[in-house]
């Protein structure tokens, strides 16, 4: 291994280390709960325990498998958001794009078209959304959060109009495969496979080309990037398209899971989840360096927190409370002023 | 010493001021006094310590050593030595005239003058009182203006007057003006100076910072020159002719101009770079110049003379308003950086942090960025080739870095500059535009860069170098273009290049004085 | 110079003028298209229906004027309504002190967010987005489902606490809205605090150089916005006679849109409270037209909101660029002169 590879390996390791440590700690907490509940340490691994993996109907199930499967949604959002944030942007419209994609797919199936046609149609809708965002940011020169806010508002309405204000239910084997499908000889949930595939494609597109490096340069210093002759607008444009495509995949998986598309609830408030995953994965909101592995680890940290809360019977409506607090804490830890305040408090405590 | 100023009472006296920032000694043992009824000009090149001095006077920075005394102050400074905050300085009578960009464009003229010191009744602003006070403050300056006007709707010259009115609205003993004329035309400047003279004759102490020698000589009573954070001296203005002032500021005596290499290059017919009537807003008048392969063109002039703006306009970093740029006879699309690079131009900006360094990235990545940008995102430079290029330049330029993978932020300023130079050399340009290539470097690094630039010239590159170091310009350049007040003051051809010739043009412009 | 300045202040008021024109056009269209549309009652009904939206928009306007953003509005409205309903129904508190407590909590919540933004330089959209989640989840934590309020004071408020002007009856919530609007106008345009808000939004560095109290003003602005959202929640409770943790979803976007349509520059410092009220009325009229039409569904409201938001953001961008160009041209002309 040469020095350069060594260097990026270090970066990669430090980006995913913290989320992974946090995930392991959460798993231990859950195991401890199961221990007190059942009275034996092995309780955690038995049926109903958090760490159990039981074969039902020939496929592995349990809280961990559930986390792996459901976390794919956030992981997909995190991949797109990592790119957007690396270029000093933000995408607040990903939840809405999920809804538009899901409804498009459902509407296409509803009109009798097969799923293999619905999926490209839905992703094309996502592509249009991303191009729209990218256009407003790069050509329209709007602040990213304003530009994507517009789609966030209007997109819900578009989704509702596409669905005629209803929740579209559908049965389609191809789309349903995206959430509940089974791959022979591979006991891995399909959503996880899709997310990993998207991660692999993104990795190749950014790290096997120079696009990732150029994007990091844009995020690190946009003015210098322009003077160095980097096509900074094109790169930023592409990140918004990529983000929308990832959100589109996530939307397809989510509506495949429930075999319906609810235009007003699908993907609601998942924007923050994406941002959290990226920040937890060691990236700065100010742009620059990004590590895809870190963002994905951050996404799974978020999902583990959510699953933990469901396992403790916290309702899905209350679950965002502790998560939002953790998000703020992570962002605060990134603020130099907060760290120095913290040090001052610790020092005073010691005296 | 002039009898008039000698008799005047001292308004503010600073003694033994010293100030360090991390890694930089900004001020060393500076004594400075301003008297009632004088305009005292503070002169010096970039980094001389003028800004630091006025920031200490106005309470923005805290001095490490030294004291400031205000003669008429009602209360002593809380720490006994210098103002601890801008508010405290203002209460002591030291008032800074903010630059026009530091005002509030969306509020009215009255609010720009009175906000922060307003009177209220039942928590409500006494707006009429505020307007009356603002009108009165402007009237004292001889200006009649509707103070309800939004500031953004006023001409820039008026905004400058509003800033002065704000500064005078408190009982000011000392008025500090930092570059008040940078965005004014000649007529507006004349009006401003008339006003300043009136204030001066009313007994106000005024400190003026300006880069225009002509302006300073026309209004200042006394001149203090700073260089490298120390005071060179204070003179009565009539005793310091422009040429001598420039000498004091730059630290060169006019007679010491020696040239090691006078090589009248045999220039090819077609210039490598030709700019015609290039103009850029109010920062650069129409400039025409030619630059030939194998030649170094020095661009001299004081700060604010348009020297950086000229390079930026040629490269397309700032879109020019008019004029054309051609490389080897082929016109380049104006205002397009990518077109300029494709045509063979390269540009090293004076502001490394803002325009050059990608702080998040490594030395190697920074070095290869221009080359990679030209190759495009889809054609990454193969790892072995990249390593070869980076290693070659690290060796050739003597970049001292722990490794090519070290973060660029870990390098010294000089080594960062070499990385940025290497970034441009890696794309093998035909025209290299350099803005202050040796700023912030020690003598050794400076010599290295200079010899490097000489060898590039011998290999047939066309170089244009902006430098505030006259000796450097004389050593490196075949011809020197001198700018003064955003226009060409003159071109000095090879045999005549000397510090004296440059200084004469800088001080007096094209007409022999 | 005189003609010059009138010209450019005309450009500054252009968005407000366009907004007024759009409002007039919408109302005219409604009157022609629908039979019972053209009446004072319809217009007054706009105020009644949109009173809580309007109150929330007042706070958001101040935040945007200061150059910030508040995404927690809808969640704080829901949270307050639940807190009040819970205090009244489960703990036997009178609605008036319950509302006062809720408004104080809202202001405190806003101040906390403002403090994080000011002291730790966190992006406002991030802090208030997190605030949105905290408030919404907290609401669900108190009451997982909507609860009705049966306190006699509410019945009295909706039946008797009305002002009769001729044939018109003005309910309490509209009076609260009009009162809050008047108060906010005074704060924004006639107090030092309000002018500091504009100053920060116009040029934060300049405000700091002028040693204006930037930090305190920013925290105060977010506190006021939190208070406004909480007051909107109290009015919402009064209006619906219930506290619902799932209510007012997306309200923050509606109020941001109202402010932008009313001529508040998203980058801060430009606009008036009256403009926001026009913006609120436009959104209200659109909703009303869609209701009258009957065949459209609610989706079109958010599409129309988004389109208007885009239109006005675009308009602002054009005006800003136009002014910059003009300034540059003026400089170039004076530079050559």
CB A66, CB A192: distance < 8 Å: no
Provide the pLDDT for residue A3: 47
Q: pLDDT by residue for chain C (337 residues), tens digit each? A: 333 333 444 556 777 888 888 889 988 888 888 877 777 777 788 888 889 999 999 999 999 999 999 989 999 999 999 999 999 999 989 999 999 999 999 999 999 999 999 998 888 888 998 899 899 999 999 999 899 988 888 888 877 777 777 777 788 888 999 999 999 999 999 999 999 999 999 999 889 888 889 999 999 999 999 999 999 999 999 888 899 998 887 788 889 989 988 888 888 888 899 999 999 999 888 888 887 777 666 678 788 888 888 888 888 888 878 877 776 666 555 544 3
What span, in angstroms and rounded, lies between the C-alpha atoms of B276 and A107?
Answer: 61
CB contact under 8 A, A220 and B361: yes
Flag whether C119 is in a domain. yes
Residue with tokens 């046609």: A117
Provide the pLDDT for residue B158: 84
CB B229, CB B48: distance < 8 Å: yes
Flag whether C245 is in a domain. yes
What token pair was written down for B388?
């070869």
Q: Which residue of B has its CA nearest to C209?
A: B102
Out of A7, A223, A230, closest to residue B373 by CB: A230
Buried b (16+ CB within 10 A) or exposed e, A281-319: bbbbbebbbbbbbbbbbbbbbbbbbbbbbbbeebeebbb
- Classify A167 as helix, strand or coil: coil
- Classify B95 as helix, strand or coil: strand
- Number of separate domains in chain C: 1
Probe site for chain C from A166, A323, A328, A340 (most C CB atoms < 10 A): A328
Flag whether C336 is in a domain. no
Buried b (16+ CB within 10 A) or exposed e, C194-217: bbbbbbbbbbbebbbbbbbbbeeb
Closest C-alpha among A348, A160, A179, A159 to residue A255: A179
What's the CA dihedral at B391, B392, B393, B397 to 10 degrees? 110
Distance from CA of A188 to the nearest CA of C (A): 32
CB contact under 8 A, B150 and C203: no
Residue with tokens 């007190």: A36
Provide the pLDDT for residue A91: 94
Residue with tokens 């401003």: B192
Provide the pLDDT for residue C7: 40
CB B449, CB B466: distance < 8 Å: no
Provide the pLDDT for residue C196: 95
CB contact under 8 A, B102 and C209: yes
Count CA atoms within 13 Å of residue B129 on its CB side. 10
Provide the pLDDT for residue B256: 40
Distance from CA of C248 to the nearest CA of A (A): 13
Residue with tokens 């907004």: C19
Chain A residues with CB-CB distance to C249 below 8 A: 268
Provide the pLDDT for residue C17: 84
Beta bridge partners of B435: B466
What span, in angstroms and rounded, lies between the C-alpha atoms of C61 and C225?
Answer: 8
Provide the pLDDT for residue B510: 58
DSSP state of A76: H
CB contact under 8 A, C203 and B104: yes
| A54 membership: H or E segment, kind and range | strand A54-56
Pairing, β B120-121 against β B124-125? antiparallel
Longest Cα pair distance anywhere in chain B, in angstroms?
81
Domain limits for position C39: 3-325
Closest C-alpha among C44, C56, C40 to residue C170: C44
CB C43, CB C217: distance < 8 Å: no
What span, in angstroms and rounded, lies between the C-alpha atoms of C302 and C226?
Answer: 24
CB contact under 8 A, B98 and C209: yes
CB contact under 8 A, C190 and B124: yes
Positions of chain B with pLDDT under 70? 1-6, 23, 46-47, 74, 252-268, 440-444, 509-513
What token pair was written down for B40?
């005292």
- B72 CB within 8 Å of a chain C CB: no
Chain C stretch 198-217, residues whose beta carbon is closer than 8 A to a beta carbon of chain B: 198-199, 201-203, 205-207, 209-212
How confident is the model over A175-226, as pLDDT tens digits? 888 888 777 777 788 999 999 999 999 999 999 999 999 999 999 999 999 9
Distance from CA of B475 to the nearest CA of A (A): 28
CB contact under 8 A, C120 and A161: no
- A134-138: long-range pairs with CB below 8 Å, 24+: A134/A236, A134/A237, A134/A238, A134/A239, A134/A240, A134/A241, A135/A237, A137/A89, A137/A236, A137/A237, A137/A240, A138/A233, A138/A234, A138/A236, A138/A237
State the average pLDDT over residues A144-163.
88
Three-class SS string for chain C? Answer: CHHHHHHHHHHHHHHHHHHHHHHHHHHHHHHHHCCCCCCHHHHHHHHHHCHHHHHHHHHHHHHHHCCCCCCCHHHHHHHHHHHHHHHHHHHCCCHHHHHHHHHHHHHHHHHHHHHHHHHHCCCHHHHHHHHHHHHHHHHHHHCCCCEECCCHHHHHHHHCCCEEECCEEECHHHHHHHHHHHHHHHHHHHCHHHHHHHHHHHCHHHHHHCCCCHHHHHHHHHHHHHHHHHHHHHHHHHHHCEECCCCCCCHHHHHHHHHHHCCCCCCCCCCCHHHHHHHHHHHHHHHHHHHHHCCCCCHHHHHHHHHHHHHHHHHHHHHHHHHHHHHHHHHHHHHHC
Flag whether C333 is in a domain. no
Count CA atoms within 13 Å of residue B335 on its CB side. 8
Provide the pLDDT for residue B23: 65
What span, in angstroms and rounded, lies between the C-alpha atoms of C232 and C54?
Answer: 8
Chain B stretch 83-142, residues whose beta carbon is closer than 8 A to a beta carbon of chain C: 85-87, 90, 98, 101-107, 111, 115-116, 118, 120, 123-125, 127
CB B473, CB B480: distance < 8 Å: yes
CB contact under 8 A, A208 and B359: no
- The phi and psi torsions of A18 (rounded to 5 degrees) equal -65, -50
Closest C-alpha among A86, A29, A55 to residue A312: A29
What span, in angstroms and rounded, lies between the C-alpha atoms of B211 and B250?
Answer: 13
- The phi and psi torsions of A284 (rounded to 5 degrees) equal -95, 140
Out of C127, C256, C302, closest to residue A154 by CB: C302
Angle formed by the axes of helices C40-49 and C172-190, nearest 10°: 70
Burial of residue B187, with CB atoms counted within 10 A of its CB: 0-12 exposed, 13-18 middle, 19 or more buried: exposed
What span, in angstroms and rounded, lies between the C-alpha atoms of A106 and C138?
Answer: 34
Probe site for chain B from A228, A236, A287 (most B CB atoms < 10 A): A228
CB contact under 8 A, C5 and B124: no
- C5 CB within 8 Å of a chain B CB: yes
Provide the pLDDT for residue B473: 86
Q: Which residue of C has its CA nearest to A164?
A: C297
Distance from CA of C142 to the nearest CA of B (A): 38
Q: What is the CATH number of the domain that holds C44?
A: 1.10.3470
CB contact under 8 A, B124 and C191: yes
Chain B residues with CB-CB distance to A224 below 8 A: 354-358
CB A97, CB A244: distance < 8 Å: yes
What span, in angstroms and rounded, lies between the C-alpha atoms of C7 and C326?
Answer: 11
What span, in angstroms and rounded, lies between the C-alpha atoms of C179 and C183?
Answer: 6
- The region of weakest confidence among A20-29, A180-189, A271-280 is A180-189
Provide the pLDDT for residue B265: 53
CB contact under 8 A, C337 and B127: no
**Cβ-proximal residues to B444 (8 Å cutoff; 6+ apart), any chain:** none
What span, in angstroms and rounded, lies between the C-alpha atoms of A56 and C87?
Answer: 47
Flag whether C334 is in a domain. no
pLDDT band at A244, cuts 50/70/90? very high
Chain A residues with CB-CB distance to B380 below 8 A: 208-210, 213
Provide the pLDDT for residue C329: 65
Flag whether C335 is in a domain. no
Out of C199, C206, C335, closest to residue B282 by CB: C335
What span, in angstroms and rounded, lies between the C-alpha atoms of A236 and A247?
Answer: 17
Distance from CA of A1 to the nearest CA of C (A): 39
Distances in Å between the Cα of A264 and the Cα atoms of A316, B417, C75 are 17, 54, 16
Flag whether C89 is in a domain. yes
CB contact under 8 A, C192 and B156: no
Closest C-alpha among A76, A32, A95, A16 to residue A308: A32
Could you give the angle at the alpha carbon of B367 between the alpha carbons of B365 and B368, nearest 5°?
A: 70
Flag whether C303 is in a domain. yes
C-alpha radius of gyration, chain A, whole number: 21
CB contact under 8 A, A272 and C121: no
Burial of residue C43, with CB atoms counted within 10 A of its CB: 0-12 exposed, 13-18 middle, 19 or more buried: middle
Probe site for chain B from A224, A236, A282, A286 (most B CB atoms < 10 A): A224
Beta-carbon contacts below 8 Å between A and B: 88
CB count within 10 Å of CB B311 equals 23
- C66 CB within 8 Å of a chain B CB: no
Provide the pLDDT for residue B294: 87
Q: What does the mean pLDDT of chain A come to?
A: 87
| Chains in contact with chain B (at least 3 beta-carbon pairs closer than 8 A) | A, C
CB B164, CB B141: distance < 8 Å: yes
Distance from CA of B340 to the nearest CA of A (A): 9
């Amino acid at each position: 291994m040469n020095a350069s590879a060594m260097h990026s390996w270090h970066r990669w390791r430090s980006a995913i280390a913290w989320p992974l440590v946090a995930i392991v700690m959460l798993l231990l907490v859950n195991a401890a709960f199961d221990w007190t509940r059942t009275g034996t340490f092995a309780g955690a691994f038995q049926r109903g325990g958090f760490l159990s993996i039981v074969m039902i109907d020939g496929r592995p199930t349990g809280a961990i498998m559930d986390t792996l499967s459901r976390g794919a949604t956030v992981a997909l959002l995190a991949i797109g958001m990592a790119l957007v944030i690396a270029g000093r942007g933000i995408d607040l419209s990903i939840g809405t794009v999920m809804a538009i994609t899901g409804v498009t797919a459902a509407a296409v199936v509803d009109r009798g078209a097969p799923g293999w046609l619905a999926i490209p149609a839905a992703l094309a809708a996502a592509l249009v959304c991303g191009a729209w965002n990218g256009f407003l940011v790069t050509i329209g020169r709007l602040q990213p959060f304003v530009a994507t806010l517009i789609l966030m508002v209007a997109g819900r309405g578009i989704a509702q109009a596409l669905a005629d204000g209803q929740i579209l239910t559908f049965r389609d084997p191809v789309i349903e495969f995206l959430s509940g499908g089974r791959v022979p000889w591979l006991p891995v949930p399909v959503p996880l496979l899709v997310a990993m595939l998207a991660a692999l494609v993104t990795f190749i597109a950014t790290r096997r080309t120079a696009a990732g490096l150029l994007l990091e340069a844009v995020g690190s210093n946009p003015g210098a990037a322009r003077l160095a002759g980097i096509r900074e607008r094109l790169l930023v444009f592409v990140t918004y398209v990529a983000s929308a495509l990832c959100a589109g995949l996530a939307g397809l998986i989510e509506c495949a899971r429930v075999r319906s598309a609810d235009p007003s609830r699908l993907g609601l408030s998942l924007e923050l989840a994406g941002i959290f995953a990226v920040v937890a994965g060691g990236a700065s909101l100010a742009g620059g360096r990004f590590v895809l592995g870190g963002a994905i680890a951050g996404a799974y940290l978020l999902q583990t927190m959510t699953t933990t809360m469901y396992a403790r019977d916290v309702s899905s409506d209350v679950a965002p409370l502790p998560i939002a607090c953790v998000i703020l804490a992570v962002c605060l830890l990134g603020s130099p002023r907060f760290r120095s305040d913290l040090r001052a408090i610790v020092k005073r405590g010691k005296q | 010493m002039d009898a008039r100023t000698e008799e005047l009472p001292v308004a503010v006296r600073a003694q033994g001021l010293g100030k360090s920032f991390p890694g930089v000694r900004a001020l060393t043992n500076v004594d400075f006094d301003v008297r009632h009824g004088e305009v005292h000009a503070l002169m010096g090149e970039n980094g001389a310590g003028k800004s630091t001095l006025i920031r200490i006077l106005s309470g923005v920075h805290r001095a490490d050593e030294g004291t400031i005394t205000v003669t008429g102050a009602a209360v002593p400074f809380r720490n006994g030595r210098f103002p601890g905050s801008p508010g405290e300085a203002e209460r002591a009578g030291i008032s800074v005239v903010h630059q026009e960009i530091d005002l509030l464009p969306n509020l009215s003229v009255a609010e720009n003058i009175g906000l922060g010191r307003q009177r209220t009744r039942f928590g409500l602003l006494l707006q009429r009182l505020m307007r009356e006070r603002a009108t009165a403050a402007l009237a004292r300056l001889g200006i009649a203006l509707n103070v309800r006007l939004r500031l953004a709707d006023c001409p820039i010259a008026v905004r400058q007057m509003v800033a002065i009115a704000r500064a005078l609205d408190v009982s000011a003993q000392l008025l500090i003006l930092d570059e008040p004329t940078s965005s004014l035309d000649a007529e507006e400047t004349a009006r401003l100076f008339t006003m300043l003279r009136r204030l001066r004759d009313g007994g106000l102490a005024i400190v003026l910072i300006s880069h225009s020698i002509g302006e300073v000589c026309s209004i200042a009573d006394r001149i203090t020159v700073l260089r490298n954070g120390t005071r060179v001296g204070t003179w009565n203005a009539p005793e310091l002719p422009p040429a001598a002032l420039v000498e004091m500021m730059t630290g060169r005596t006019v007679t010491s101009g020696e040239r090691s290499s006078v090589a009248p290059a045999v220039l090819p017919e077609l210039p490598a770079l030709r700019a015609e009537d290039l103009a850029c807003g109010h920062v650069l008048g129409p400039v025409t110049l030619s630059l030939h392969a194998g030649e170094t063109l020095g661009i001299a002039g004081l700060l604010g003379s348009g020297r950086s703006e000229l390079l930026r306009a040629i490269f397309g970093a700032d879109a020019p308003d008019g004029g054309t740029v051609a490389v080897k006879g082929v016109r380049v699309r104006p205002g397009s950086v990518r077109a300029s690079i494709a045509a063979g131009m390269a540009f090293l900006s004076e502001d490394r942090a803002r325009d050059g360094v990608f702080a998040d990235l490594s030395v190697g990545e920074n070095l290869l960025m221009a080359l990679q940008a030209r190759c495009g995102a889809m054609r990454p430079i193969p790892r072995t080739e990249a390593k070869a290029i980076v290693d070659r330049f690290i060796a050739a330029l003597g970049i001292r870095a722990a490794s090519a993978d070290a973060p660029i932020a870990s390098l010294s300023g000089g080594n960062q500059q070499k990385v940025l130079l290497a970034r441009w050399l890696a794309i093998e340009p035909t025209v290299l535009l350099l803005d202050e290539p040796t700023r912030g470097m020690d003598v050794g690094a400076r010599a290295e860069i200079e010899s490097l630039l000489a060898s590039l010239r011998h290999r047939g590159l066309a170089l244009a170098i902006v430098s505030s170091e006259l000796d450097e310009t004389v050593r490196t350049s075949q011809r020197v273009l001198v700018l003064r007040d955003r226009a060409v003051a003159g071109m000095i051809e090879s045999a005549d290049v000397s510090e004296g010739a440059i200084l004469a043009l800088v001080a007096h412009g094209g007409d022999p004085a | 110079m005189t003609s010059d300045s009138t010209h450019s202040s005309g450009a500054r008021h252009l968005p407000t003028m366009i907004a007024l024109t759009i409002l007039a056009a919408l109302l005219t269209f409604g009157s022609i298209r629908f039979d019972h549309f053209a009446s004072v009652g319809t217009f007054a009904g706009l105020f009644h229906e949109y009173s809580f939206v309007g109150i929330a928009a007042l706070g958001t306007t101040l935040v945007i004027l200061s150059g910030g953003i508040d995404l927690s509005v809808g969640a704080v409205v829901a949270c307050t309504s639940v807190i009040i309903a819970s205090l009244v129904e489960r703990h036997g508190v009178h609605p008036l002190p319950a509302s006062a407590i809720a408004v104080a909590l809202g202001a405190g919540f806003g101040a906390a967010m403002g403090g994080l933004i000011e002291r730790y330089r966190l992006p406002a959209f991030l802090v208030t987005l997190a605030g949105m989640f905290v408030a919404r989840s907290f609401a669900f934590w108190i009451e997982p489902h909507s609860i009705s309020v049966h306190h006699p004071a509410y019945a009295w408020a909706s039946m008797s606490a009305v002002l009769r002007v001729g044939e018109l009856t003005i309910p309490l919530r509209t009076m609260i809205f009009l009162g809050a609007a008047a108060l906010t106008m005074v704060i924004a345009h006639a107090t030092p605090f309000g002018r500091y808000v504009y100053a920060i939004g116009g040029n934060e560095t300049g405000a700091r150089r002028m040693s204006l109290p930037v930090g305190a003003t920013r925290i105060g602005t977010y506190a006021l916005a939190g208070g406004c959202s909480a007051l909107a929640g109290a009015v919402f409770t009064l209006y619906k006679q219930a506290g619902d943790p799932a209510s007012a979803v997306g309200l923050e976007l509606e109020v941001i849109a109202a402010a932008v349509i009313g001529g508040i520059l998203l980058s801060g410092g430009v606009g008036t409270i009256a403009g926001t009220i026009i913006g609120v009325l436009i959104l209200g009229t659109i909703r009303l037209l869609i209701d009258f039409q009957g065949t459209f569904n609610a989706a079109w409201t958010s599409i129309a909101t988004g389109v208007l938001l885009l239109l006005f953001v675009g308009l602002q961008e054009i005006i800003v660029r136009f002014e910059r160009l003009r300034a540059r041209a003026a400089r170039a002309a004076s530079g050559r002169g």
